[in-house]
Amino acid sequence: MSYRRFGLAIFVTILFYVVGIFFIQRTVFEVKSFRDAQTWPTVEGRVMRIEVIEEFDSETGSNFIPILTYEYEAGGVLYSGQRTYFSETPKYSANEAALHAFDPLTSGSAITVHYDPSDPGRSFLFESSMNYSRSAFMIFISLISFISPIVVFGKDLFRKRSK
């Protein structure tokens, strides 16, 4: 094998390993953040506004996203937020479904707010389950990134270089 091909094999292998490490690190961070958030303290807050925004995606068309704005007090300071779930914000394909996403809440309703004690401006309303399918997908991509260079360049990497 030529030095040029060997260098390319090493470069691609390192690149794929860096991508794999990135995906694993991101997955570990997301899972840890989700678990930590489950222990955050709670306070009573108040719903300020509920609205639906439309987002257009070229693949799926229109998505309707319900936005709930709330206020709460932590440590004597008034905060506001819009993060309803710790994980992903739900999207709906129908405006009607998005309009009723937070039933029976209305403006002025009392609501429990979970806030980060180290950063009280960071909050969410509803406990949700971790999207483990997304985490599993990210780990799968990581494994592919570790294995594919070996499959593609394995013979070249482990064979003695020719002069």
Per-residue pLDDT of the chain (163 residues; tens, 9 = 90+): 567 777 777 788 788 888 888 888 888 887 787 778 888 999 999 999 999 999 988 887 888 999 999 999 999 999 999 988 776 677 888 888 888 888 888 899 999 999 999 999 999 887 765 556 666 777 787 777 777 777 777 766 666 555 5
- The amino acid sitting at 18 is V
User: Distance of CA 74 to CAs 46, 78, 79, 97, Å?
Assistant: 13, 7, 8, 32
Statement to judge: residues 46 and 117 lie in one domain: yes
- Helices marked H in the chain — which ranges? 3-37, 95-99, 132-158
Does 50 share its domain with 112?
yes
Whether residue 89 is contained in a domain is answered as yes
Q: Are residues 21 and 60 in the same domain?
A: no
Helix-helix angle 132-158:3-37, to 10 degrees: 160
Check: CB of residue 115 under 8 Å from CB of residue 123.
yes
Q: What is the extent of the structural domain holding 153?
A: 3-35+135-158
**Are residue 31 and residue 46 in the same domain, yes or no?**
no
To the question of pTM greater than 0.75 for the whole model, the response is no
Same domain, 102 and 116: yes
96 in the same domain as 30: no
